[in-house]
A and B are shown apart, each in its own frame.
Chain A
Amino acid sequence: MAYLRGVDASPLQPVDEPLSGDVTAGIAGLPKDLLDTLWRECGAGNWGLGRDEFDNILYVEGTAHNFGLDLSVPVSLAQQGAFFGGLKLGDLVLARACAAGHERAWVHFVAIYQEPLARAAIAISGNETIGRDLAGALYAELYGLTERDGLRRCPLNSYRGRGSLLGWLRTTLAQRHVDQYRRGHREEPLDDFDAPSLERPVAESPVALPMVAQAVEQALGESEAEERFMLAAYFLDERTLAQIAAVLGVHEATISRRLRRATDAVRKQVLRNLRNLGISKRAAEEALGTDPRDVELQIDLKTLMQSSRSQSFSDLETSSGMASGEGSPKKAAE
């Protein structure tokens, strides 16, 4: 994962900013029967939310992104109902009630999510101390201890109910942990940086490497987003088929099949692109047989797929964790 070293971290996600959107007062656009039904089902009144607050929440969530449809598409009543039916309304009203500072909502939130939040932080960081610190920091931030311009700011306002609240909390923890690590990584001494040896012999390639890079870039650009994600996850991040399958929600055999198909397609397309660049078929095939490590020294093919050049998080974490003796068994095993 040397391709990620020395790369600046990408801009952070402003998770603590309130949801932006052209929110206007009033709920005239939503049918009253639908709002009544949703009000009864989600139990927003239990957390101290008023009916007006609830209607306003729904109005913001619905109209901010046109109920999940394109902005130019008129939305029918059925589509509105389907959109609200797909939301985790119970979690949404709890989050908004907590963000609004309702005590009953906070009591419930702590009772439900405090321990899972700590376990998730420990699992993410791979260290109990770091994990508890991470969970505590987020918990304080959620409680609204952070103020900006004299206003209490709560990240729970950015939760929109598309997924579960616990999942959102885990993802937020992961974001915080990754960003924190990347910020800290830039402060590491250069002695630990494992620079490639300059004495390493560079293999002669029959084809000009820039042409290969151009052909690969074109081939990857023409492939689908999911194929590019699988290729990056498998070949760059060195994730297992099971991990990729869990992310995409399919069986790992499907991932294996799609990977094989995508690899073959990219290879054929690269050969085709090289031929279009005026390279003979034999020379193009020999160019594809070039050791990627040799190619990397000069053109770094992985930058073609990786706009944000950051070191593999797990690798760095493992190496640092093992060096300090605090790495988790799982990471150490990897």
Chain B
Amino acid sequence: MNQAIQSGNHPDAESLNAFVEQALTGTEREQVLAHMATCGRCRQVVYLAQEAAGVEGDLAARVVSDDGGRDRAPSLKPQRNWFGGWRLAWIPVAALAGFVGFAVLQHARHSPLESQVAVNSLQEKGEESAASSRITNSKAVDKTEAGSKKTKSSAQEQGPARAKSAPERSDSNTPMAKFDAVEQAKKPAERSADSVTRSSQNEGDKARDSADVSNSVGAVYLSHQEAQEEALKKTENLDKDEQRRQKENKQLQTAQVSVVGGTGKPPSAPPVGQAGSASFGAAASPAAKAPVANGQPTLSASNYKAATAGRVMADLKAKRTLLPNGTAALSVTTAKGRTIALDPSGTMYMTEDAGKSWVSITSQWTGRAVLVRTRETPAQADAVTPNNNAVFELVNDNIQTWVSSDGKIWVPQVVPPK
């Protein structure tokens, strides 16, 4: 080989042919390439030999295809199998088809849930519009109420009307329908909390009694069937807790009604707009608090929707929180990295490490604590508190409120004299 590529000589036919057929070693190939880079004659030889090989290859392919039994006139162009060139293309095509099929299946699996959610959202929209009209009515009632019997009677008239709508829609067995029914019944109860009456309180209790059903809102992101199963399971498991809560609610309502009937206003009632969220097992979320304008609740539809979802999620969170005494938390709230929880007996626990270790808080309030929640603003509405930096609020079974800035030291909240 080396002898064949001396200076001034050309590679012999053996070397050039071996180069074309890729049969040379690396060193030999480099030598031939170096020569051909400067030798037009050898390049021409290689090109011509390559062309002749191509003609021969085409002819051989034509002969092979003719041997296949096809009686056709010989053509100058090689007849290639049309699908032959696509042989390798079947692999990505098959992969693409598989992907599309998977996507269609996934879409088919989720489409019922989406349609269900769409239906529910439409229903909620309708309810929101209805609720807003009711809120307007409630405003009008609230303006003229001021403890008069006329307002009380009108509220009593509204109560059955609202309560009537809930059973009408709760005939559906689907969790989402139950959730709608519960929300339908719950909304008026929350909005008219400043004009608490027995009937409206009962109506709110009904909503709270079936609040567990609304836990299925968390299953909106699950499949429809899973959401149904989960909601039914939760409904069964928490049935006992709900019964106990009903009793506690009734006791609380009894005490509240007696207070309203006696003084016209509870001694330390929660601020306006927050009472609606004073439900058992539910911590008031920021969104759940209605904006206050001139002491009047002005809940918008979106705020109301968010408040409802926040309450439901807080309720879920409370039920999932397991306290050191082995019981599920009755009420849970979190702020400033601290989580405060109440057990059903009213004992308060606090944790600063996301529930890894709990500290029992000595009772500094009267009665049984039934609700803890977080305050968004230091001083809310017209309430005056000794500590304007208070973050947490506690409500006992007498609807009295205590506030705390750190969750350890609690002081009663004082309502300013009008």
Q: CB of A209 within 8 A of chain B?
A: no
Question: How distant is the Cα of A68 from the Cα of B47 in the complex, in angstroms?
Answer: 26
Q: CB of A90 within 8 A of chain B?
A: no
| CB within 8 Å: A-B pair count | 156
Contact A173 B52 (CB under 8 A): yes
Pick the residue among B9, B43, B45, B53 that contacts A232 (CB under 8 A): B43
Closest chain B residue to A239, Cβ basis? B47
Residues of B contacting A13 in the complex (Cβ-Cβ under 8 angstroms): 9-13
Question: How distant is the Cα of A310 from the Cα of B44 in the complex, in angstroms?
Answer: 10
Residues of A contacting B54 in the complex (Cβ-Cβ under 8 angstroms): 246
Distance from B52 Cβ to chain A, minimum over Cβ atoms (Å): 4
Asked if A167 meets B38 with Cβ closer than 8 Å, knowing A68-B25, A158-B13, A229-B33, the reply is no
Distance from B53 Cβ to chain A, minimum over Cβ atoms (Å): 6
Q: CB of B149 within 8 A of chain A?
A: no
Residues of A contacting B15 in the complex (Cβ-Cβ under 8 angstroms): 162
Asked if A159 meets B49 with Cβ closer than 8 Å, knowing A65-B1, A225-B33, the reply is no
Pick the residue among B11, B14, B48 that contacts A160 (CB under 8 A): B14
Distance from B66 Cβ to chain A, minimum over Cβ atoms (Å): 15
Q: CB of B17 within 8 A of chain A?
A: yes
Q: CB of A219 within 8 A of chain B?
A: no
Residues of A contacting B382 in the complex (Cβ-Cβ under 8 angstroms): none
Contact B10 A163 (CB under 8 A): no
Q: CB of A314 within 8 A of chain B?
A: yes
Distance from A214 Cβ to chain B, minimum over Cβ atoms (Å): 17
Residues of A contacting B8 in the complex (Cβ-Cβ under 8 angstroms): 10-11
Contact A163 B38 (CB under 8 A): no
Question: How distant is the Cα of A179 from the Cα of B12 in the complex, in angstroms?
Answer: 13
Interface string of B21-40 (1 = CB under 8 A from A): 11111000010011011111
Interface positions of B from 356 to 413, Cβ below 8 Å from A: none
Question: How distant is the Cα of A269 from the Cα of B20 in the complex, in angstroms?
Answer: 30
Question: How distant is the Cα of A168 from the Cα of B20 in the complex, in angstroms?
Answer: 10
Contact A307 B45 (CB under 8 A): no
Residues of B contacting A12 in the complex (Cβ-Cβ under 8 angstroms): 10
Pick the residue among A4, A121, A170 that contacts B40 (CB under 8 A): A4
Residues of B contacting A310 in the complex (Cβ-Cβ under 8 angstroms): 40-41
Pick the residue among B3, B10, B24 that contacts A10 (CB under 8 A): B10
Asked if A163 meets B18 with Cβ closer than 8 Å, knowing A20-B3, A68-B25, the reply is yes
Asked if A228 meets B14 with Cβ closer than 8 Å, knowing A120-B52, A174-B48, A177-B48, the reply is no
Pick the residue among A20, A121, A163 that contacts B14 (CB under 8 A): A163
Contact A170 B17 (CB under 8 A): yes
Contact B38 A305 (CB under 8 A): yes
Pick the residue among B34, B40, B49, B56 that contacts A308 (CB under 8 A): B40
Contact A163 B17 (CB under 8 A): yes
Asked if A164 meets B17 with Cβ closer than 8 Å, knowing A170-B49, A310-B40, the reply is yes
Question: How distant is the Cα of A314 from the Cα of B39 in the complex, in angstroms?
Answer: 15
Residues of A contacting B25 in the complex (Cβ-Cβ under 8 angstroms): 68
Asked if A171 meets B17 with Cβ closer than 8 Å, knowing A65-B1, A306-B40, the reply is yes
Question: How distant is the Cα of A271 from the Cα of B23 in the complex, in angstroms?
Answer: 38
Closest chain A residue to B60, Cβ basis? A116
Pick the residue among A163, A178, A231 that contacts B45 (CB under 8 A): A178
Q: CB of A325 within 8 A of chain B?
A: no
Contact B17 A15 (CB under 8 A): no
Distance from A174 Cβ to chain B, minimum over Cβ atoms (Å): 4
Question: How distant is the Cα of A136 from the Cα of B200 in the complex, in angstroms?
Answer: 116
Distance from A157 Cβ to chain B, minimum over Cβ atoms (Å): 11
Residues of B contacting A314 in the complex (Cβ-Cβ under 8 angstroms): 44, 47
Candidate in A120, A174, A179, A313 with the most chain B CB atoms within 10 angstroms: A174
Contact A167 B21 (CB under 8 A): yes
Distance from A301 Cβ to chain B, minimum over Cβ atoms (Å): 14
Distance from A77 Cβ to chain B, minimum over Cβ atoms (Å): 19
Residues of A contacting B52 in the complex (Cβ-Cβ under 8 angstroms): 119-121, 123-124, 170, 173-174
Q: CB of B16 within 8 A of chain A?
A: yes
Pick the residue among B17, B45, B50 that contacts A243 (CB under 8 A): B50
Residues of B contacting A158 in the complex (Cβ-Cβ under 8 angstroms): 12-14
Residues of B contacting A11 in the complex (Cβ-Cβ under 8 angstroms): 8-10
Question: How distant is the Cα of A249 from the Cα of B16 in the complex, in angstroms?
Answer: 14
Contact A225 B45 (CB under 8 A): no
Pick the residue among A236, A249, A308 that contacts B41 (CB under 8 A): A308
Contact A229 B53 (CB under 8 A): no
Distance from B262 Cβ to chain A, minimum over Cβ atoms (Å): 93
Interface positions of A from 119 to 172, Cβ below 8 Å from B: 119-121, 123-124, 158-160, 162-164, 166-168, 170-172
Pick the residue among A305, A306, A313 that contacts B44 (CB under 8 A): A313
Contact A312 B40 (CB under 8 A): yes
Closest chain A residue to B39, Cβ basis? A308
17 further interface pairs, Cβ-Cβ under 8 Å (given A119-B59, A167-B21): A10-B39, A65-B2, A120-B55, A163-B23, A167-B53, A170-B52, A171-B20, A173-B49, A177-B48, A226-B33, A231-B37, A236-B40, A237-B40, A237-B43, A247-B20, A305-B38, A310-B40
Chain A residues with CB under 8 Å of chain B are: 4, 9-13, 15, 20, 65, 68, 86, 116, 119-121, 123-124, 158-160, 162-164, 166-168, 170-175, 177-179, 182, 225-226, 228-229, 231-233, 236-237, 239, 243, 246-247, 249, 305-310, 312-314
A-B residue pairs in contact (CB < 8 Å), sample of 20: A10-B8, A10-B39, A119-B59, A160-B14, A162-B15, A163-B17, A164-B17, A171-B49, A175-B16, A178-B44, A225-B34, A225-B37, A228-B38, A232-B37, A239-B47, A247-B20, A305-B38, A310-B41, A312-B40, A313-B48
